A and B are shown apart, each in its own frame.
Chain A
Amino acid sequence: MSENKNSAEEHYKGSLKIVGVILFIWAFISYGCAIIFRDWMDANMPSIGNAPFGFWMAQQGSIIGFVLLLLAYTFFMNKLDEKHGFGEED
């Protein structure tokens, strides 16, 4: 039982790390690139097609980023589940 409890705690800590990294990137691509540092991004980053970088992030880039982030989240969480013996069939 105590071993199971340990692995549950390890799993929880691991999942917090994954969620933390995902949410950091999530905040960076939306609030960061598209809102707060937008002017800087427009001026200093290469434009995407004909769109300034910050504008493109706001209208397309961040949404594509969100989809990729969820794929990454699912992949890493499933791996973590396996590692701690919580894996399941879906």
Chain B
Amino acid sequence: MSQDIWNFIFIGITFGIYIGIALWAKAGSTKEYYTAGGGVSALANGMATGADWMSAATFISMAGIVAASGYDASRFLMGWTGGFVLLTTLMVPYLRKFGKATVPDFIGDRFYSKTARLVAVFCAIFICMTYIMGQMRGVGIVFSRLFNIEIATGVIIGGSIVFFYAGLGGMKGITYTQVAQYCVMVFAYTIPVIFISLALTGNVIPQMGLIGDFTKGGEAVPLLQKMNDLSVELGVTKYTDGSLSTTDMFCITAALMAGTAGLPHVIVRFFTVKSVKAVRKSACWTLFFIAIIYLTAPALGLFARTNLVDELNNKSYTEAPSWFKNWEDQGMIAWVDKNNDGIIQYGKGKAFAGKPIMDGEKRGEQGQRIVKNEVTSDPNEVYYDRDIIVLANPEMAGLPKWLIALVMAGCVAAALSTAAGLLLVLSTSISHDLMKKIIKPDITDKQEMAYARMASFGALVIASYFGINPPSSFVAKTVAFAFGLAASSFFPTLLMGIFSKRVNKEGAIVGMICGISFTFAYIVYFQFIAEHQNYLFGISPEGIGFVGMFINFIVTIVISSFTPAPPQEVQDMVEHIRIPSGAGEASH
């Protein structure tokens, strides 16, 4: 059977499952729409949160980032897992006890102010919208590669599926589709790596292979040592050494951690379980399920890099493995024969400026595709798109076609599950917090759900538009920046709302606005306006959310100390959420 047929079978089966679950779990009330009815088991919620959390970017790109930058990539590995420790110990048990269904709901009640609620709604929409655009783009790219269709068509297909189960089923539909999606993702991610690990290191556990010996081709040498030596030979930074400054590394990791703890689509997942005790148990499961994939990524990254160097460097193009040529046909790999020797040289620097622009179907002397880009003077002759690391690894390891199809299904699952979670936050922020709590307090349960469905449709249309027409490289970058925005707005405000009785509405409102505007302005300035790299204290835009977070903290505390304390009933409420028992079911 050809690869295409396998792809159709796997994508078809998984989509069938998602749609089946959506029909089974159609939400009948706002309670089911917002919190899946409140009785999701800790284990199921753990899996669902894992799928919700791992986006197309994590699934497709993370191993590629590790392969390209070695130690430096640890900022993502630690940042995105370490955030769950913050989330679990400081946030979700208390927010679950509070017992409402959305994040702006907590902020609106805790800071007894419609303005605070409005600012929170705005922040939530802003964060989720930047994030969801990237997911839609991801779905489009995977589909276009799978079925050779336009990216736009791919985005529309993905969008319709998401609307079908997120819009109709709400949280209930999302929860159980995400459980299925996690299962697809975890098999798709780990199985190929196990085979690669066996081939390269003889170790069936990839995590052990990472710290083990390279055994392919006879003599056993320490794998990391081999990679470091190769790197030195090629003139690039050692794999186990970083090139980022300690300050930058620290700030980016911290911003990602705090951002994780402030992301509304992750927080709301914990409103679906029964009690505070179940929240803690569920958080353990979540991190466990995420860790399976996050511990596999560094192994995959190292294996892929080793393969890349080992199988390509100083080999003639005609002998290059077939995956190299397949991905070259897709325009994801390119080779420029700078010294006209017909041999692939991989080394320091870039092969050419920017992404490859292929010169039609023209082929060079060795049969390689010709690029129109301006060639650099660096010795490197190979360009590869980092995103192919996960997509191409089954092929690199010579695995069967059905496994390649499984990886494709995993990519789609990763993008769809995150998009659905974000869509839910967007639609509930609008229907519940904006319509019900601010604009039209007298709407019925049924009308509120109708607004939620309309809002999710509207949000999806906008997200799809930007997925099809991305504002330059804006989308890919803003996914990482969404964390900085969450770290500088929601994280400090929620934290102070829970742990301080003194912080009041004036402080919280001004603090949130200052934090998010500073972070946003810094990102926009250094990403789009200033060409130079004169970062403030050497902190790159990725890590600036950490500084924005401190600005939020300081502004909130200073303003709160000059303005009157919150009313007694709010102080009582803060005391109430600190007691774990008697959470009851989440209401709205």
Contact = CB atoms under 8 A, between A and B. Distances in A.
Interface of A: 8, 11-12, 15, 19, 22-23, 26, 30-31, 34-36, 42, 48-52, 55-56, 58-60, 62-64, 66-67, 69-71, 73-74, 77-78, 81, 86-90
B222 interface: yes
A31 B254 contact: yes
A81 B212 CA distance: 43
B322 to A, nearest CB: 31
B586 to A, nearest CB: 15
Interface residues of B, number: 53
Given A8-B579, A74-B284, A69 B42 contact: no
B274 interface: yes
A87 B200 CA distance: 50
Interface of B: 42, 66, 71, 74, 77-78, 81-82, 84-86, 88-90, 93, 207-208, 210-213, 222-225, 240, 246, 249-250, 253-254, 257, 274-278, 280-281, 283-284, 287-288, 291, 294-295, 298, 575, 578-582
Q: Do most interface residues of chain B lie in helix, strand or loop, or is the interface mixed?
A: helix
B253 A35 contact: yes
A52 B240 contact: yes
Nearest to A69: B85
Nearest to A62: B78
B178 to A, nearest CB: 20
Contact of A70 (B240, B284, B294): B284
A70 B84 contact: yes
Contacts of A48: 211
A66 B78 CA distance: 9
Contacts of A36: 246, 250
Contacts of A63: 77-78, 81, 291, 294-295
Given A26-B85, A59-B66, 13 more contacts: A12-B579, A30-B78, A35-B253, A49-B208, A52-B240, A59-B71, A63-B78, A63-B295, A77-B580, A81-B581, A88-B276, A90-B274, A90-B275
Given A58-B74, A59-B74, A88 B85 contact: no
B277 A22 contact: no
Contacts of A88: 275-277, 580-582
A22 B581 CA distance: 22
A78 B277 CA distance: 7
8 contacts: A15-B578, A34-B78, A59-B210, A60-B295, A63-B78, A67-B287, A67-B288, A73-B85
